[in-house]
Structure 1
Amino acid sequence: MPTSHQITCAGEDCPEWSIRTAVYGTHPEWLAAEHRELLAADGWVDVEGRDYCPDCKPAA
């Protein structure tokens, strides 16, 4: 059964998003964790449960 996981940037008025799909036997939790790891490598951050793209990353 196909599984998908989507992340949308929480930045105000930001159109950035990412979707990851798997076709064979992938658990949704595993897919979500791997998706976040790949996005973190691309500069996305999770701040208090909200995801931000590299252009909208909140100041530290």
Structure 2
Amino acid sequence: MSKAGLIASPARGRFVATDKGKALLGTAPEKVDVALLMPKPAFREFYRNEGSTAGTDGGAN
């Protein structure tokens, strides 16, 4: 949710809803999931980049 700009972390272990997050909550979504966040450009970019870096450790354990 932070990647979508819906929450901020002003201090360690503290999270607050941003204005965008409050607006989203005002629509009373049934759930907050990837499908709901995907229209947010920042989240979409983050999600796309996460998928491209998965498994790039070469299988070293």
TM-score (norm 1): 0.28
* Structure with the bigger percentage of strand: 1
Which has the greater radius of gyration?
2
* Structure with the bigger percentage of helix: 2
TM-score (norm 2): 0.28
